[in-house]
Structure 1
Amino acid sequence: MNYATELKKFATSQAISSAVRISLAIVLPSVILAHFGLLKEFFLFPLATSFVGLTDQPGPFIRRRNALILAIASFFLVSIVASVIKNFPILIYPEIIIFSIFFTMIGVFGQRLAAVGSLSLVVLAIFIDGHLTGGHIIKSSLIFLAGSICYFIIFLIVSKMQPYKLAGQMIGENYLELAKYLSLKSKFYLKDPNFDSLYSQIITKQISIKNLQEETRETVFKTRKIVNESTTTSRLLMLMFLNSIDLHEKLMTSESDYRKVQENFGATEFLNALGNYLQMLSEEMSNIGIALQSGSKAKPIRNIDESLENIYNDYFDLRNSKLTPETLEDFMTLRLILNRITVISDEIKTIYKVFSQNLKMAKSLSTGLDVEKFVTAEEKLNSKIFLANFSLQSTHFRHAIRITVALVVGYFISQLKFLGIGHSYWIFITIVAILKPAYATTKHRNLLRLYGTVAGALVAYAILYFIPFQNVLFVLFISAMVLCFAFLKTNYSVAVFFMTIYIFLAFNILNPGNLNTIFKDRILDTVIAGAVAFVVSYFVLPVWEHTQNLDLMKKSAESNFKYFSAAMAFFKDENIGIEDYKLKRKAAIIDLANLSDNFQRMISDPKNQQKKLEHLHQFVITSHLITAYIASFSQYSETNKHYPEIDFNGWDLKISAELVRTKLILYQKNLHQNILQESKLEPEDSVETLLEKRKKELQENEFFDRRDPGRITHLTELKNLKEILELIYDVAREQRKVVENLEPELQSTIVKQ
């Protein structure tokens, strides 16, 4: 691992920028208040600033602004109501029930409002017993409101000063994720690769790439300044994002039968050199991502042309020594792999040219796409949608019930006097943080929260015990706060670790000498909240991941079929627009990622809820391979060449028949005999005849050492095209067999809830 590069990634990331912004918004007012001796009295001011800052998720300016306004209004309303009702204990439980259900249910309108709802419940915890607010209801609520507005003002100022900063950082993060993806693929060419493990890691990486692309699409396409403004920066960012999408597809087109490649060339050193070259390209992509995050211009780390030339020379040397009629097809496969790697290399060089000549290239940018179609539709604040989800069939409502039960139980436990809990609101807050819609996610966060809290409490205790210097403690306080917010999205356990440290230091600043009580309460409250969240998530209206399997399998099978049809249309000279094709590609990748994500969560479910786990794993792997092979197949449509030697109509019928058979089984529909007949078709290709002719020429004629990296014979392209079609068919047939094994239990996967 290159630690200098990793540090640059972290230092220039959107996460650290957001963390610094929130931390400064908290610390600066706190320092001013402390200077005048008012920090204890106005402690709610920086607290409100931090809560509002946590609802500020990446995205278009207008959506962020509206969410912040809603958060400010919600927080103020909750603070007033909770402050009034705390004097009427009989009303506190109805208050918890109403607020819990409402603020959880607004999650039906997307993650942004789900965050607002969760933080509103945290505000309820702060005000519910007056522990931090005292008896001055209006004063406390107004201070809290002022702190909320403070962050909103800072948000407006920063957005005005740096309108493109967030978009640049998110696009840069796309390139960093693609670099990790390429680094994984490079390992297929190294010695003794673990194929199953690598495929699992690649599928996991596809999930993170998909999620990030969706967030970035929304930010880039929905932000008026980037889409419509004719500035060089806005056009450059748009160009860089579109290039990242195309680069992602090119990386997917580099899919090959790695086992066969290793079998044929694993004994040589060439594959190892190929893997090292791909790792080098991965580092170049990381370099581009860091430059975009930091707003600087990227320059190549190494000479890509020279390194690629060395790879080709190694290939030609190997070909000259090993090429025979028997190994001809193996070398054709290797030649196509080199061609795909060359395409990726050219793409990276083009991106570097954009940096060096951005004015000229950015002004010529014209996507020709209706970008609105590529953005996930936002749920409108429609009361009908909200009310329609009040049903046990709705996962949102079931989650709202679980949250409500857990908070009622947690609050009840916090009021038990014999436990002697001094910071009871920590139980409430921890339950909100841990309890998520999926049992697997709740279980995972529960463990991370416990590990992070215990480790953070021990370190914080040691810091306060051994370091008496207030200036040093203040620097550690700020550092821990920044790191907590920086890791909150990417590494929850580390975030909780630093959160615990800065909470200890904050309470030490406000009330020195209370260390043992804080330590006991923090650990005890976390254990209690974790136990409550675990029990509720397991026993109260649980939603097991296997209940989602069938719907996600249907969507993935359907979108792969449409993706294949769109790719095949180019070769059959059917009228299909590039925009329609890209929409089909986007849908296939998203549905694959959703299916993979569900499988990853299912692994954490109890053993008795892991229905047909092995079969689902096989379905996920085959879905990934089908999508990747279709991407490889579609790359030939860009060449505008004709391949009359391949019977595309026959292959279309043959492969579509297998894909349709899978769909029909999943949808429990009858199979027509003509589909079975189409699946058994033998396409009338002439590729084998041409291959035999070429092998005969090798036997009869002298071989010439022609070293032209840019030359790929028509026969090599034909052979690869047919090989890809065969791979798509073989994997589609394998997937159909997987689904046939699931057929008796398809109906049982839909649990009647």
Structure 2
Amino acid sequence: MNYATEFKKFATSQYIFSAVRITLAIVVPSVIFAYFGILKEFFLFPLATSFVGLTDQPGPFVRRRNSLILAIVCFFFVALIASIIKDYPPLIYVEIVVFGLFFSIIGVYGQRFAAVGSLSLVVLAIFIDGHLTGTDIIKSSLIFLAGSICYLLIFLVVSTIQPYKLAGQMIGENYLLLADYLKIKSKFYLDKPEFPTLYSEVIAEQIKIKNLQEETRETVFKTRKIVNESTTTSRLLMLMFLNSIDLHEKLMTSDSDYKKIQESFGDTGFLKIISEYLEKLSAELSNIGIALQSGTKAKPILNIEEELHAVFQDYFDLRNQKMNSDNLENFMIMRLILVRITDISEEIKTIYKVFSQDQKLAKSLSTGLDLEKFLPNTQKLNVKVLWNNFSLKSSHFRHSVRIVLALLIGYLFSKLEFLGIGHSYWILITIVAIMRPAYSTTKHRNLLRLYGTFAGAIVAYLLLLGISNGTILFALLMLNMILCFSFLKANYFWAVFFMTIYIFLSFNFLNPGNVNMIFKDRIFDTAIGGLVAFGVSYFILPVWEHTQNLDLMKKAAKSNLRYFNAVMDFFSAEKIIIEEYKLKRKDAIIDLANLSDNFQRMISDPKNQQKKLENIHQFVNTSHLITAYIASFSQYSKSAKKYPEIDFESWNRKISAELLRTSLILEQKKFHENIREESALQPADSVQKLMEIRKKEITESEISNLRDPNRITHLTELKNLQEILELIYDVAKEQRKGAEKLEPETQSTMVKQ
């Protein structure tokens, strides 16, 4: 691992940038209040600032601003109501039910609303028993409101000064994930690769890329300054993001029959050369990503052209020594792998040219796309949408019920005097932080929070025992706050670890000498909250991941069929609408990632809820291969009319019929016999005849020592095209057979209790 590069990734990321902003927004007012000796009195000010800051999700300026305003209103309202009725226990239980239900179910409108809802419940937990309110409710509420508004003002100032910063960081992160993706791909060419492990890593990385692309797509396409302004920066950012999407497709095209390649070239040493070169390209992508995140210009680390030339020379040497009529097809496959690697290399070189910020290039940029069509699907703010989710069939409603019950149980525990709980709100905060609609996610976060809290508490305890210097402790407080907010989205364990340390340090500044009590309360309350969250998630209206499988499999199967048809249109239709093709590509990648993500969560469910695990796993793997092979096939779309030797019409009917059969099986619909007949079609290709002629030529004459990397024989392209079509069909057939093994009751979409 290159630790310097990893540090640069972290130091220039949106997470550290956001964390520093939130930390300064909290610390600066706190220092001022401490200077005047009123920090304890105004403690709610920085607390409110931190809560509002945590709702600031990446996205377009307008949506971020509106969600912050919504958060301020919700927080103030909840804090005021909770403070007013804190002395009336019956009303407190009503308050928990009403607020718990409402602020959980508004998650139907997306992650932004879900974040506001969750933090509103955290505000409820803090104000529910009046520990922090004091006797003057109006004064405390206004201080809390002022702290909330403080973050909004800071956000507005920073967004005005650096309008492109977030977009640049998010686009840069896209390139960093693509670099990781390419690095995983490079391992397929190492000696004796672990194929199942590598395929799992590829699928996991696809999920990350999809999620980030969705967030970035919204940020870039919904930011008026980027879409409408004609500045060099705005146009280049748009170009960089669109290039990252196209590069992602090119990286997917690098999928091949790796087992066959290993059998053919594993003992030659050439595969290691390819692996090393792909790692170098991965480093270049990381370099580009870091430069985008930091807002600097990127320069190539290596001379890509020279490195690629050296790879080709090794290939030509190997070809001249080893190629014969028996292994001709293997060398054709290898030649096409090098073509794809060349395409990736050229794409990276083009991206570096964009970094030169050529004015002509920027001004000539025009996507020609209706960007609105590429935005993520989000629920509109329609009351009917919210009302329709008040049903046990809705996973959001079931989650809301679980939240309410867990908060009620947690609050009851906090009132049991014999437990001696000193900070009861920590139980409720733990419940809100851990519980998610999916049991698997709740279970995972539960363990991470417990481990992170325990480890952080021990470290904080030792720090407070060993360090008495206030300046050092304050520096550690700031450092841990920054690290906590930085890891909150990326790594929950470390976020909780650093959060626990800074909470200990904060309480020490406010009330020195109570480290033992804080240690006991923090561990004990977290354990209680975790147990309550786990028990309620498991026993109360659980939503198991296997109940989502069928819908996601249907979507993945349909989108792959549409994606394949869109690519096939290049080989048959006279006029192709590029926008429609890119939309189909986007849908296929998103649906594949959603299916894969659901499967990953299903693995964390109880064993008795992992229905047909092997069959679902096979479907996920075949879906990934079909999407990747279609992406490989699409690379020939520019020269689609140059291959009359391949019967594209028959291949289209054959593969479409097989993909359609899978969809119909999942829908539990009968299909006409002609679909089965079309699936069994034998395309009238003439490639094999040409191959026999070429093999005869090689047998009868010496191989010419041509060393032109840009020269690809027409027969090599034909053979590769035919092989890709055969791979798509074979994998589609395997997927259809797997779908047939899924019993009707396994395919139920009803939520089972």
> Shorter-normalised TM-score: what interval?
over 0.9
Aligned to 1:704: 704
Q: Distance in 2 between matches of 1:254 and 1:194?
A: 18
Q: Which residue of 2 aligns with 1:616?
A: 616
Counterpart mapping for 1:468-479 below 5 A: 468-479=468-479
Do the aligned partners of 2:232 and 2:363 also contact (CA within 8 Å) in 1? yes
The 3-state SS of whatever aligns with 2:272 is helix
Query: Does residue 439 of the first structure (1) align with residue 439 of the second (2)?
Result: yes
Partner of 2:183 in structure 1? 183
- Supply the AA of the counterpart residue of 1:197: T
How far apart are residue 358 of structure 1 and its match? Answer: 3.3
Find the aligned partners of 1:744 and 1:697 in 2 and give their Cα distance: 55
Equivalent-residue separation in structure 2 for 1:694 and 1:4 (angstroms): 51
Q: CA deviation at 1:752?
A: 5.1
How far does the alpha carbon of each residue in 1:74-101 deviate from its partner, in whole angstroms, 9 at most, with x for none? Answer: 0000011000010211210000000000
Q: Which structure 2 residues correspond to residues 156-171 of structure 1 after superposition, within 5 A?
A: 156-171=156-171
Cα displacement (A) at 1:657: 1.2
**SS of the residue aligned with 2:242?**
helix
**Quick one: distance in 2 between partners of 1:746 and 1:518?**
49
> Residues 361, 272 of structure 1: CA spacing in aligned structure 2 closer, same or farther, 3 A cutoff?
same
Deviation at 1:750, TM superposition (A): 3.7
Q: Equivalent residue for 1:554? A: 554
Tell me which residue corresponds to 1:544. 544
Q: Cα offset for 1:701?
A: 2.0
**Amino acid paired to 1:172:** G
Aligned to 2:604: 604
The answer for the alignment partner of 1:351 in structure 2 is 351
User: Does the CA contact (< 8 Å) of 1:666 and 1:743 recur in 2?
Assistant: no
CA apart distance, 1:747 = 4.2
Aligned counterpart, 2:304: 304
Alignment of 1:497 onto 2:519: no
- How far did residue 196 of structure 1 move? 0.8
State whether residues 665 and 743 of structure 1, in contact with CA within 8 Å, keep that contact through their aligned partners in structure 2: no
Measure, in 1, the Cα distance between the counterparts of 2:341 and 2:747. 44
2:132 is aligned with 1:132: yes
After superposition, where does 1:69-88 map in structure 2 within 5 Å?
69-88=69-88
Aligned to 1:511: 511
Shift of 1:128: 0.6
Query: Equivalents in 2 of 1:378, 1:265: separation in Å?
Result: 48
Aligned-partner Cα distance in 1 for 2:751–2:539: 15
Q: Aligned letter for 2:706?
A: R
State the alpha-carbon separation in 2 of the partners of residues 749 and 140 from structure 1: 48
CA contact (8 A) 1:430 1:526 kept: yes
| Deviation of 1:640 (Å) | 4.9
In structure 2, the residue matched to 1:628 is 628
3-state DSSP of counterpart to 2:741: helix
Counterpart residue number, 1:335: 335
Secondary structure, in 3 states, of the residue corresponding to 2:200?
Answer: helix
Letter of the aligned partner of 2:513 in structure 1?
A: G
Alignment of 1:319-468 (within 5 A): 319-468=319-468
Distance 1:2 1:556 in 2: 37
Shifted more, 720-729 versus 671-680: the winner is 671-680
| Residue 526 (structure 2) aligns with | 526
Structure-2 change in CA distance of 1:414 and 1:401 (3 Å): same
The alignment partner of 2:366 has SS state of coil
What letter corresponds to residue 517 of structure 2 in structure 1?
Answer: T
Which residue is 2:267 aligned to? Answer: 267
C-alpha separation in 2, matches of 1:746 and 1:144? 51
Offset of residue 573 of structure 1 = 2.3
For residue 368 of structure 1, report the CA deviation from its aligned partner.
0.3
**3-state secondary structure, aligned to 2:642:** coil
Measure the CA separation in 2 of the matches of 1:630 and 1:406. 47
Partner of 2:649: 649
* Residues in 2 aligned to 1:370 and 1:676: alpha-carbon distance in whole angstroms: 38
Give the Cα separation in 1 of the matches to 2:227 and 2:377: 17
- Report the CA distance between 1:642 and its aligned residue: 1.8
Give the structure 2 partner of residue 121 of structure 1: 121
Equivalent residue, structure 1, for 2:676: 676
Alpha-carbon distance, 1:133 to partner: 1.2
The amino acid that maps onto 2:19 is A
Q: Structure 1: which 5+ residue stretches go unaligned? A: none
Calculate the aligned-residue CA RMSD, in Å. 0.9
Q: How far did residue 749 of structure 1 move?
A: 5.8
Partner Cα distance (2:368, 2:296) in 1: 28
Partners of 1:462 and 1:235 in 2: how far apart? 52
**C-alpha displacement of 1:576:** 3.2
Q: Following superposition of structure 1 onto structure 2, how do residues 150-229 of structure 1 map, counting pairs within 5 Å?
A: 150-229=150-229
**Which letter maps to 2:313?**
N
Q: Distance in 1 between matches of 2:597 and 2:347?
A: 29
CA distance in 1, matches of 2:426, 2:52: 18
8 Å contact kept, 1:100–1:404: yes
Aligned-partner Cα distance in 1 for 2:752–2:510:
53
Q: Separation in 2 of the partners of 1:556 and 1:574?
A: 28
Query: TM-score, normalising length from structure 1?
Result: 0.99
In the alignment, which residue of structure 2 is the partner of 1:728?
Answer: 728
Q: Identity rate of aligned residues, in percent? A: 73
Give the letter for the 1:522 counterpart: R
Q: Which residue number in structure 1 is paired with residue 713 of structure 2?
A: 713
Say if 2:393 and 2:750, in contact at 8 Å, map to a contact too: no
Secondary structure of the corresponding residue to residue 635 of structure 2: helix
Contact 1:55 1:112 in 2 (8 A): yes
* Aligned amino acid, residue 421 of structure 1: I
> What amino acid is aligned across from residue 697 of structure 1 in structure 2?
E
Secondary structure of the corresponding residue to residue 742 of structure 1: coil
1:331 positional shift: 0.4
Asked if the contact 2:543/2:751 (under 8 Å) is kept, the reply is no
Query: Amino acid of the residue matched to residue 63 of structure 1?
Result: R
- Secondary structure (helix, strand or coil) at the match of 2:636 reads helix
Conserved 8 A contact 1:431-1:533: yes
Contact 1:438 1:543 in 2 (8 A): yes
Deviation at 1:746, TM superposition (A): 3.9
1:696-749 deviation line (CA, Å, top 9, x unaligned): 111112221000000001100000000000000000000001011114444456
Q: 2 CA distance for matches of 1:435 and 1:377? A: 24
Give the letter aligned to residue 652 of structure 2. D
SS in 1 for 2:279: helix
State the alpha-carbon separation in 1 of the partners of residues 747 and 428 from structure 2: 39
Q: How far apart, CA to CA, are the structure 2 residues paired with 1:71 and 1:362?
A: 38
Task: Look up the equivalent residue of 2:363 and give its one-letter code.
Answer: K
Q: Return the offset for 1:379.
A: 2.0
Once residues 268 and 679 of structure 1 are traced to their aligned partners in structure 2, the CA distance between those partners, rounded to angstroms, is 39
- For 1:213 and 1:749, how far apart are their aligned partners in 2? 28
Q: Does the 8 Å contact 2:570/2:640 carry over to 1? A: no
2:369 touches 2:579 (CA, 8 Å); kept in 1? Answer: yes
Instruction: Write out per-residue CA displacement over residues 287-331 of structure 1, whole angstroms, 9 at most, x where no aligned residue.
Output: 000000000000001111111011000000000000101111110
Q: Distance in 1 between matches of 2:750 and 2:397?
A: 18
CA distance in 1, matches of 2:78, 2:358: 49
Letter in 2 for 1:469: N
**Aligned 8 A contact 1:557 1:663 in 2:** yes
Q: How far is 1:200 from its partner?
A: 0.7
Which amino acid in structure 1 is aligned with residue 17 of structure 2? S
CA distance in 1, matches of 2:365, 2:136: 59
1:62-118: CA deviation from partner (whole Å, max 9, x where unpaired): 000000000000000001100001021121000000000000111111100100000
Q: TM-score, normalised by structure 2?
A: 0.99
Q: Give the Cα–Cα distance (whole angstroms) in 2 for the partners of residues 640 and 291 of structure 1.
A: 37
The 2-side partners of 1:124 and 1:399 are apart by: 18
Is 1:314 the counterpart of 2:314 in the alignment?
Answer: yes
SS of residue paired to 2:201: helix
Question: How many angstroms apart in 1 are the aligned matches of 2:744 and 2:235?
Answer: 54
